[in-house]
Structure formats: C-alpha cells, structure tokens
Amino acid sequence: QVRLVESGGGLVQAGGSLRLSCAASGTIFSFNAMGWYRQAPGKQRELVATITSGGSTNYADSVKGRFTVSRANAENTVYLQMNGLKPEDAARYYCWAVRVTSYWGQGTQVTVSS
C-alpha cells in the first residue's frame, strides 16, 4: 500500500524559511508527478507546487519566487523549500503524488508568526 509521509513543518517567524519533505513507500515505481497542496482553516485545499518525473514544475502565483519544489525520483521523495514565509502561508501542507491514481499524505502543519 502506498504511503506518503511528510516532515519539516513547524513554527517560523514571518520572513523565515522551512523545508518540507515527503517520502513515499509501498511502491517500486516512480510517480508521474508529486507535489504539495495546502489547506488553511475555513478554506479549500489549494495547489502550492507540483513537479513531474521529468522535472517540469508548476507553482501557485502566491508562492512563485519564494518556494521551490524538487524531487529525488530514485527515492520517490519530494521537497518544498519555503523562503520568505508570510502569515498567509500558514496552513496544513499535504504531500500529493499521482500514478494512475492520486495519493495523499496526512499533512504537516506550518505556522507563521507575524
């Protein structure tokens, strides 16, 4: 059974940085794409950044220039480097991966103090 496990969330001051990691287990195949979504209280889950197995990336406009998504295909691991964090970036961040079907992690909390 495929499992995605996130790590790296926490509390940071505005302007600070965090690096999220997500490791997949339960499969020997690479995902077609992996990435990150987030959900703040009272809001819908939204795309943050995705990356394909070929390295093509897609970012939400709100994080462009501040966040960087990367992956290690051989390890089925995806990362999200978050710089210049703002209070509006506070949310629960979910790892996502797709191969035939989508998979989700349990999420990791990011809190940004102003």
Render pLDDT for 79-102 as a digit per residue (tens, 0 to 9).
999 999 999 999 999 999 999 999
CA gap 64, 80 in Å, rounded? 12
40-45, long-range: CB within 8 Å, 24+ apart, which pairs? 40/90, 40/91, 40/92, 43/91, 45/94
pLDDT digits (tens, 9 = 90+) for 1-21: 899 999 999 999 999 999 999
* Residue-averaged pLDDT of the chain: 96
Give the side-chain half-sphere CA count within 13 A for 65: 3
Neighbouring residues of 13: CB distance < 8 A, sequence distance ≥ 6: 85, 112, 113
Query: Is it the case that residue 27 has pLDDT exceeding 90?
Result: no
Query: Is it the case that residue 113 has pLDDT exceeding 90?
Result: yes
Neighbouring residues of 74: CB distance < 8 A, sequence distance ≥ 6: none
**3-class DSSP state of 106:** coil
pLDDT: which is higher, 65 or 25: 65
Token pair 């302007």 is found at: 15
